Amino acid sequence: MVNPVRARIPQPPIRAATRNPEHHDFWPGFAVALIGGVLVFAGSRHMTALETVDGGTAWETQVIRAFAHGGMRYVPRGPAASGSPGNPVTFEGPLGGGADPGLTTSMVRIDTGAKTPCPT
């Protein structure tokens, strides 16, 4: 007696011309990798609202580097401000040492070319 579990089931004949080939396509994977690369590149360069000394806006990486290398500059605001965006005045006090601590008398600009390392 033949065991029904081990009995062979007849298969239809294989026609190679109509058979679905098993292959992997290059272009969908390439497109996904390209989109991922663009997202990683764009995500690592977030723009901030802080202006640079040169006149543009700073990236997050530039802000971190400027903070670590003494590149945070307090630039006075208003018509009484001495200095220019290309040549800012550096203050020793918080936000320029104004009369009222609640008033902001200067703004922060990022010096992207600062090279002095942080002393801490």
Mean pLDDT of the region 60-65:
86
**Strand order across the beta sheet in which 106-110 lies:** 57-59, 47-52, 106-110, 72-76
Q: What is the pLDDT of residue 28?
A: 92
Mean pLDDT of the region 43-60:
82
Q: What is the pLDDT of residue 92?
A: 47
Q: Render pLDDT for 70-106 as a digit per residue (tens, 0 to 9).
A: 888 877 765 444 445 554 444 444 544 445 454 455 6
State phi, psi for 63 to the nearest 5 degrees. Answer: -65, -45
Which tokens go with 65?
Answer: 């580097």
Q: Is the pLDDT of residue 37 over 50?
A: yes
| Whether 53 contacts 111, CB under 8 Å | yes
Spatial distance between the Cα atoms of 6 and 83, rounded to a whole number of angstroms:
92
Annotated domain spans of the chain: 48-110
CA torsion sign, 67 to 56 to 48 to 99?
Answer: positive
Q: What is the pLDDT of residue 90?
A: 47
Q: What length does the chain have?
A: 120
Q: What is the pLDDT of residue 118?
A: 66
